Amino acid sequence: MTGPTPGPMPRPMTGIGRRTGLVALVTGGGGGIGSAVARRLARSGVRVTVADLDAVRGRAVADEIGGLFVRLDVTRPEDNHAAVAETISAYGRLDVAVLNAGVPGSCGLHDFTAERYRATMAVDLDGAVYGLQASLPTFRAQGSGSVVVVSSIAGLSPSPDVFYSAAKHALIGLVRSAALVLAADGIRVNALCPGLVDTPILAPFRRSLVDAGCRIAPAGLIAEAVEHVLADDRTGQVWVAQAGQTPSLVEPPHIALATTER
């Protein structure tokens, strides 16, 4: 791992915009949205652990921002716990977890295999569950913590990438339900759903999307949205970030259970 840059201890206030010396762990931090988030947070004075499976790219980002690099396979619970432990060892605390790692679906309904289906879910859903679970002991001990789970517009609407969309929909349920049970511990959990973003994953389709009139956001815009979510004191919220738009809240339906009362 690379050596982190030291910084002051945080003041006991809520909202990232009113605190100094925060520590954040960013998964998938070696490229795309994750590297943009790591850079943005570092510029705001946050001490950042860049966690990624790609050691070359992840370490390069960490070195650039004066942060810590940890090699992380999000599909392994033990790797997630190790990433948190190394962050605590380096910085003494953890305040923010940005669970961003994700991959496009590796199969669909027409070419389905159980192995490729599980590979998609292991990163896109299990990785967020393991990252959240690994951060909870520290957050509970501190009495505070903020988690941003990066979902997708495909988590709010249908997509031809069926299992990617299924995983991203599941993340919305994870966030809303986890926020409900973790509020008493002072832990905030929110979801951010980016639209089309200019990342390597999108590169093969970029030209056709632009020709079709789609607007593609730079990764920096999504990083700004992450900071916006962290600055908000609410929990269990679902935010959308798209090119040309300010981050906005989506109000999921609230369905009351049927009762015997008239």
Q: Which of 33, 76, 22, 30 is nearest to 50 (CA)?
A: 30
Active site residue 164: yes
Asked whether 146 and 228 are in contact (CB, 8 A), the reply is no
In sign, the C-alpha dihedral spanning 175, 177, 182, 188 is positive
Q: Whose CA is closest to 70, among 150, 148, 2, 22? A: 2
Residues 6+ apart with CB under 8 A from 122: 75
Strand pairing report for 238-241 and 248-250: antiparallel
Residues with a catalytic annotation lie at: 164
